[in-house]
Amino acid sequence: MFKKNKYQIIRNAIPLDVSNFVHDYFVRKKKVQKILEDTKYISQFNTDWGKQSDDQCPYQYSHYGDLAMETILDILTPKLSKITKLNLSPTYSYARIYTRGAILEKHTDRYSCEVSTTLNLGGTEIWPIWLTNKKGKNIEIKLEPSDMLIYSGCELEHWRTEFKGDTCVQVFLHYNDKSNKNWESNKFDSRPCLGLPAKFKNVKLSYKEWLFLINNV
């Protein structure tokens, strides 16, 4: 179905109890990050614990490359490769807690999101995601907690209208297709390994350091 339509809904992509656990973990992490920043334990420019706002969705807490999310990203790679019939390479994860009034504008994604997923981790309300299919028709998709939508992020426009609930926690898991010649240079979104912050993109490592990562990560 994915190869034909460029998207597919996967019900219960992860166990519901795991989804609930990761939801609660991330909600708690948001509170911790706010305290650390407010007490000046960390700088407002330090994003190692996430950030309370980003350019795409202002005033919504988010985190690039959270370790728990990157673990899910990695673990699901074989399953999603089988579903899509593609040989997938994980690039990065991006998790966000949406609150009332949030909007996700219509867009397509960058190369690292060649094959994208959105996984509903839970919240107070179901928040549909919309996409424009290959025939130009707008499709509304509702995901329960633990459900996932996998789609061609660079090809299909997707968006969310204004959120009317209190909270909705989503994680986006992104992949490249290994049949594309550029996948290897973009592995892990150009970081040495999964779990590292975005500031590690394109970091140059010595041969010994790369050898260590290859054998131990």
Note the pLDDT of residue 74. Answer: 98
Nearest one of 151, 166, 139 to 27, comparing CA atoms: 166
Q: How far apart are CA 126 and CA 143, in angstroms?
A: 7
Residues in the chain: 217
pLDDT along the chain (217 residues), means of 10: 94 98 98 96 93 93 98 98 97 98 95 97 97 95 98 96 97 97 94 92 73 64
pLDDT at 88: 98
Q: Maximum distance among all alpha carbons in the chain?
A: 52
pLDDT of residue 209: 72
The pLDDT score that the predictor gives to residue 208 is 72
- What pLDDT is recorded for position 217? 56
Contact in structure between 67 and 195 (CB atoms under 8 Å): yes
For 50-104, the pLDDT digits (tens) are: 999 999 999 999 999 999 999 999 999 999 999 999 999 999 999 999 999 999 9
Q: What is the pLDDT of residue 26?
A: 98
Predicted local confidence at residue 24, as pLDDT: 98
Tell me the domains of the chain and their CATH numbers: 2-216 (2.60.120.620)
Distance CA 38, CA 164 (A): 28
Predicted pLDDT at 212: 72
